[in-house]
Amino acid sequence: MKSPLEREFEYYLAHQSQLVKEHDGRFVVIKNRKVIGVYDDQANAVSETSKSEELGTFLVQKVEPGDNAHTQTFHSRVVFAE
């Protein structure tokens, strides 16, 4: 099953180099394969965008060069008993 925001992420990847030139280090908000906002921090990007757009319908992405800019590792404190 595809993520509802996969199209927005694909747009980011396709335009990453141009976005880095224009907004390196900032956070872009992407909806319907278009940048609809640029912010200095993630919390402000979500807060401001959610005033006019429903949560879950837009992507907030930090603009940075390279693959590591969009790779995250999540850790869990879950312990499995044998």
- Residues 37/28, Cβ–Cβ less than 8 Å: yes
φ, ψ at 59 (rounded to 5°)? -110, 135
Tokens of 68: 């590591």
Note the pLDDT tens digit of each residue in 36-65.
999 999 999 999 999 999 999 999 999 999
Tokens of 32: 């319907």
The answer to the question of residue 10 being in a domain is yes
Domain count along the chain: 1
> Considering the entire predicted model, what is its pTM?
0.81
Rounded CA gap, 9 and 17, in Å?
14
The answer to the question of residue 35 being in a domain is yes
What mean pLDDT is reported for the chain?
86
Enclosing domain of residue 50: 6-65
